[in-house]
Amino acid sequence: MCGIVGYIGKEQAAPILLDGLSKLEYRGYDSAGMAVYDGEKINCAKATGRLKVLYDLTHGGETMPGCSGIGHTRWATHGAPSDVNAHPHFNADKTIAVVHNGIIENYVKLKKKLTDKGYEFRSETDTEVVAHLLDYYYKGDPLEAVTKVMHRVEGSYALGIIFLEHPDVIYSVRKDSPLIVGRGKTGNLIASDVPAVLKYTRDVYFIENEEIARLSAEDIAFFNVDGEPIEKESKTIEWDINAAEKGGYEHFMLKEMNEQPKTVRDTMNPRIKDDQIVIEELGMTDDEIRAIKKIHIVACGSAYHTGVTSKYIFEGLARIPVEVDVASEFRYRNPILEEGALVLIISQSGETADSLAALREAKKQGIQTLGIVNVVGSSIAREADKVMYTWAGPEIAVATTKAYSAQLIAQYLLAIKFANVRGKLSDTEMAAMLKDMKKLPDQIEMLLNNKERIQKFANRYIAAKDVFFIGRGIDYAISLEGSLKLKEISYIHSEAYAAGELKHGTISLIEDGTLVAAVATQDDLFKKTLSNIVEVRTRGAFVMAVTNEGNTEIEKNADYVIYIPQTNKYFTNSLAIIPLQLFSYYVSVGKGCDVDKPRNLAKSVTVE
Ligand code: F6R
């Protein structure tokens, strides 16, 4: 999500910035820009679209003289992709330039305060707040202004900053967004990721949270959030460029799975304030929420599976009837959409043809629509009446992992909010649920750390022909996704079944050694699923069970058990899916499949 590059040294900066940004293209972006100090003023160039547009606009950077600058590729979050919203952003008199990666969560509040003090905003971005806030605090000492801003902003950020009055240095800071500093031969660099600097140096400092770097052409100094000098040691990068783009991970899918704690935090944190859920973009009054008579969730593939999960939550918590449809079916079944209905369209790309058509069908029938979308400015985001973004960042691997996790979170938030507003969930109950929700990122991290155990197990199943996933209730929804993950990247036939349905036909396929993945995280259904486990095991199945910590009695009936930490019963999908993703991933790797680009599949399905 967004790429930052900065250079200060003896060479012309702009071509180096463009080159560095080109190495960050894999992160995804929809506009780009640069600010370069030319000896007198800070010049700026921005362009919507591919980096090539900025390259052509500046003749490969040649038309921007100067040896110090910052560059940025923007993946739109706050505000559509446009030249105005592209970075760098400036204070009013263009003496401070800022590029930013991350999300300033309290930008609305800060923007209001700054506007009250007379600051005028040009863009819709959260980043512009930083430029004006720096201006507000700058009294001649850039370091002081930077630390003050760090104390005021909440959220995640990596920043590159130029002060016209201090043109011989670049400042950079980070919190929860990546940032590295490279010590080059002709000058020093900042970047969001190592590939951007590898052409110039392998001598790199990894900036930790709330650390500040000050770069001049010859020197690099580091400070803590209070502006006190700190020592840092550089590391020599041994990776090749390809590995570096994936942050050292072997595949984008592995990288993206590991980004899930952050994705969940980014989607959740800005919308939870003082034990209340605030979804500003929903634009619905409490009366309007109370008036919702029915929810239709429409999506494809994994996004559809998140809808199957949230049906249980909307119905269980908010007592609103929910229908979940695969978009390609919904659009042609002449759906009955009655007044008071809300249609939720869920899509990572925001471009899935069937989901878009379903959205248009709902609008045609005059029904209010809400998109839960990852890509800002995408067709579904633009056409839906309201859009709630999942802040997962660009997803490169075809098989979704982090966007799926973010979609779940967005729907948890909606369901809990609706339940609370409709009087079905007290403030105290809601606070307890939010407490559990806030634990999810760390719990996901813990499960990800268990990958070696899953890898060993997965290696035993690379030759499997058929795998069955079973579960009841939300566990069935998890099974659907576990099964899809496995089949799409490992090409092993797999099916997901509502556990109780198996004996109505499919159990005839179980033979000696067939792998059955049983998901049993719902306490009220645990005994029932256990019976189904016994049924398949009696017929020779090898059972891998995913259940909650403490359910040790399952060990008598399952051959291999994965425990997930305790959480609210409605959130277990967010945890149980992690070992299933890892399992699919390692089976795929073990089989030597093209994990990130499985055959016949596309990331964005723009045809029906
Ligand atoms: C599976 C997967 C797909 C997508 C589906 C919808 O790993 O990624 O099933 O979930 O194609 O795509 P979006 O969410 O872009 O509408």
Give tens-digit pLDDT for 461-474.
Answer: 999 999 999 999 99
Residue keyed to tokens 């007379």 = 118
Give the pLDDT of residue 248.
80
Between the CA of residue 452 and those of 223, 405, 456, 458, 490, what are the distances in Å? Answer: 37, 21, 6, 10, 18
264 CA to centre of ligand 1 in angstroms: 18
pLDDT range class, residue 230, cuts 50, 70, 90: very high
So what's the pLDDT on residue 244?
A: 65
Q: Give pLDDT tens digits for 550-581.
A: 999 999 999 999 999 999 999 999 999 999 99
Query: Ligand 1 test: best mutation among 252, 260, 302, 485, most atoms within 8 Å of CB?
Result: 302
CA–centroid distance, 405 to ligand 1, in Å, is: 12
Q: What pTM did the predictor assign?
A: 0.79
Task: Give the pLDDT confidence score for residue 375 in this predicted structure.
Answer: 84
| Position 12 pLDDT exceeds 80 | yes
395: phi then psi, degrees, rounded to nearest 5: -110, 125
Question: What residue has token string 């918590």?
Answer: 317
Distance CA 88, CA 71 (A): 7
Sole residue written with tokens 């929420």: 289
Give me the pLDDT at residue 242, please: 65
pLDDT of residue 400: 98
- Of 497, 492, 490, 488, residue with least CA distance to 469: 497
- Please indicate whether residue 593 is annotated as part of the active site: no
Q: Which residue has the higher pLDDT, 395 or 28?
A: 395
Instruction: For ligand 1, pick from 600, 605, 607 the residue to mutate: most ligand atoms within 8 Å of CB.
Output: 605
Q: Tokens 């910035």 identify what position?
A: 17
pLDDT tens digits, residue range 209-221? 899 999 999 999 9
CA of 507 relative to ligand 1 center, distance in Å: 29
Identify the band that residue 454 occupies on the pLDDT scale cut at 50, 70 and 90.
Answer: very high
139-165 pLDDT per residue, tens: 999 999 999 999 999 998 999 999 999
CA distances from 590 to 152, 247, 516, 587 (A): 48, 21, 19, 5
Q: What is the C-alpha separation between 493 and 469, in angstroms, rounded?
A: 11
Angle at 113 between CA 107 and CA 118, to 5 degrees: 120
In a 3-state reduction of DSSP, which class is residue 133? helix
Residue nearest to atom 5 of ligand 1 (CA): 301
> What is the reported pLDDT for 393?
84
Tell me, what's the pLDDT at 602?
79
Mean pLDDT of the chain: 95
Q: Catalytic pick from 2, 44, 300, 593?
A: 2
Alpha helices (H) in 514-608, listed in sequence order: 526-538, 572-591
102 in Cβ contact with 157 (< 8 Å) = yes
- Whether the pLDDT of residue 1 is over 90: the answer is no
Amino acid at 218: E
pLDDT tier for residue 541 given thresholds of 50, 70 and 90: very high
User: Are the beta carbons of 66 and 39 closer than 8 angstroms?
Assistant: yes
Ligand 1 atom 4: residue of nearest CA: 301
Task: Report residue 584's pLDDT band, with 50, 70 and 90 as the boundaries.
Answer: very high
Distances (CA, A) of 557 to 370, 454, 507, 519: 44, 19, 17, 13
Distance CA 603, CA 397 (A): 8
Residues 408 and 374: their CA atoms lie apart, in Å, by: 12
CA separation for the pair 248, 156 (Å, rounded) = 22
pLDDT band at 489 (very low <50, low <70, confident <90, very high): very high
Mean pLDDT of 259-272: 95
pLDDT digits (tens, 9 = 90+) for 320-377: 999 999 999 998 999 999 999 999 999 999 989 899 999 999 999 999 999 999 988 7
Residues composing the chain: 608
| 345 C-beta closer than 6 A to ligand 1 | no
C-alpha to C-alpha distance for 257 and 406, rounded to whole angstroms? 12
C-alpha 557 to ligand 1 mean position (Å): 34
- DSSP per residue, 349-391: SS--HHHHHHHHHHHHTT-EEEEEESSTT-HHHHHSSEEEE--
Contact 374, 406 (CB under 8 A): yes
Residue 608 has pLDDT above 80, yes or no: no
Helix ranges (DSSP H) in 236-294: 241-245, 252-258, 260-268, 286-290
Within 10 angstroms of residue 288's Cβ, the number of other Cβ atoms is 14
> Which residues lie below 8 Å from residue 463, measured CB to CB, with a gap of 6+?
none
For residue range 19-53, what is the model confidence (pLDDT) as tens digits?
999 988 877 789 999 999 999 999 999 999 999 99
SS3 annotation, 37-95: ECCCCEEEEEEECCHHHHHHHCCCCCCCCCCEEEEEEECCCCCCCCCCCCCCEECCCCC
Does the annotation count 2 as an active-site position? yes
Distances (CA, A) of 64 to 15, 229, 486: 9, 33, 50
State yes or no: cis peptide before 321, omega within 30 of 0: no
Measured in Å, residue 348 CA sits from the centre of ligand 1 at 7
400 lines ligand 1 (CB under 6 A): yes
Per DSSP, the three-state class of 122 is coil
